[in-house]
Structure 1
Amino acid sequence: MTLKNYHDQAVYRQHCPVCIQPLKGCYCPHIQRFDPHISFVILIHPIEMRRRIATGRMSYLCLEHSYLISGQDYSDNELVNALICDPHRHCVILYPGPDSQNLSLMSEGQRTDLVPAGKKLTVFVIDGTWATAKKMMRESQNLKTLPQVCFSPTKPSSFRVRKQPADFCYSTIEAIHQTIEILGHSRGFKTSCRQHDNLLEVFDLMVERQLDYLRMSEQKNGAYNSRQERKRPVEKES
């Protein structure tokens, strides 16, 4: 069989056009979109955009009134600049650093006063590896003008299919969930209803599926290697 005939006969897995997962692993039916009363602007790096397990895309699909914008240097991005300059919005960026305000340490009154009356809280979130996130922040001059906020993680990340720099480094979807948990009540969102937990439910579903795929792959490769060992001819002693 020629290489051309092989490719002509090859069967490729179909993918969901929304979540980019293979149809067998599509998580769209498990999404329950909700309005957190906070507008999240997810700035996703092009490399992350191509990943099937990008949690920034997953967050965007769960959140009403959210944005997913691909790029690296957002200095001249028209949509980003329009959102920042919108007089009806109060924009901040979720980014740790020495000048970042820790939301976890604020009182409920301080969290309420964080946003001027009559304005929509808009939280920019960078979705990428820690290295690309630093580069995106460094190159995007408009993002540097935004007040920075952060929080103190309460438990280790559950992103077990990708290595994190440290246990308490959250994925994008976990960080957004925690931000809603902290700020939601001050913005009029009933955190007690636990609608925002759907973010973690979809995330955990995806993680478990990926772990299942890895386990199945290891089992198949292990069986293949065992067969190869059995077929290998025994060398005669000299």
Structure 2
Amino acid sequence: MSHAVSRLRSERLARCLQPFTARGSRAPRCPGCRVIFDYCLCKFRPTVEAHGAVCLLMHDVEPLKPSNTGWLIADILPDTQAFTWSRTDVDEQLLALLDDPQWQPYIVFPGEFVAPERVVTQVAATPGKRPLFILLDATWTEARKMFRKSPYLERFPVLSLASDQLSRYKLRRSKRDDHFCTAEVAALCLELAGDQQAASVLDAWLDVFTGHYLAAKFQLPLDEQDEVHVRLQALVS
């Protein structure tokens, strides 16, 4: 099934001057989950409705990375939007989305780097509007540059997340334990919007994906009846 991030990946691949090969494996990968076919997890893929929605601003190469977790958000939340970030060429569809009156956009970014008057820590209930969480999907260094060089985002509040939970993401690690992967950030935002079911399903989907991805990477046996698979099934059944 195609979604916003898979379409962005297809567009990016079409611009590649040579075939893209994921690091660490030349084995063919499932186009639906980006894991080699023997470890495909597409049959477990859930979908869930939520009041809040996510808009991913993705650095140029992020859609190409099999370990990217923005893809997982689009897997389960049909309203997910995704755009390639550019400093000089802003997508008109992105600008139209940000101006759509049904949405209340929030830029999700650490408050310590932002003027205090822009920072919020809660999601306000606004009649007639749904929260739209704008996530900068990139490395930390790239995300800081994207934040500084996106003047069209300056009119929106900055949602600063605080959590005692340490990141569980095991595929690409930040040097700081308080830096979450993109799917974890989205789950925390959904919790703040009152979408607890969607947040729990996204967390479980991240765990299932991580298990399949690492099992494929190290050629390990996969137990489809383990705790993470059972937890996901319980949430969506």
Normalised by the size of structure 1, how large is the TM-score?
A: 0.72
Instruction: Give the Å deviation of 1:214.
Output: 5.0
The whole-number CA distance in structure 2 between the counterparts of 1:152 and 1:177 is: 13
* Other-structure match for 2:104: 90
Runs of 4+ in 1 over 4 A off after TM superposition: 213-217
RMSD: 2.1
Instruction: Describe how 1:9-158 pairs up with structure 2 within 5 A.
Output: 13-73=27-87, 76-97=90-111, 98=114, 99=116, 100-103=119-122, 111=123, 114-158=124-168
The whole-number CA distance in structure 2 between the counterparts of 1:195 and 1:121 is: 14
* Other-structure match for 1:207: 210
Percent of residue pairs identical:
22
Q: Is the 8 A contact 1:75 1:141 kept in 2?
A: no
Structure 1 unaligned regions, length at least 5: 1-11, 104-110, 218-238
Instruction: Give the Å deviation of 1:195.
Output: 4.2
Instruction: Give the Å deviation of 1:24.
Output: 2.3
* Other-structure match for 1:168: 178
SS in 2 for 1:93: strand
Corresponding pairs, count: 190
Instruction: Give the Å deviation of 1:115.
Output: 4.1
Instruction: Give the Å deviation of 1:84.
Output: 1.1
Change (3 A) 1:17 1:122: same
* Structure index of larger Rg: 1
Structure 2 unaligned regions, length at least 5: 1-25, 221-237
Q: Is the 8 A contact 1:74 1:141 kept in 2?
A: no
The whole-number CA distance in structure 2 between the counterparts of 1:20 and 1:118 is: 37
Instruction: Give the Å deviation of 1:16.
Output: 2.1
Instruction: Give the Å deviation of 1:55.
Output: 0.3
More helix as a share of residues: 1
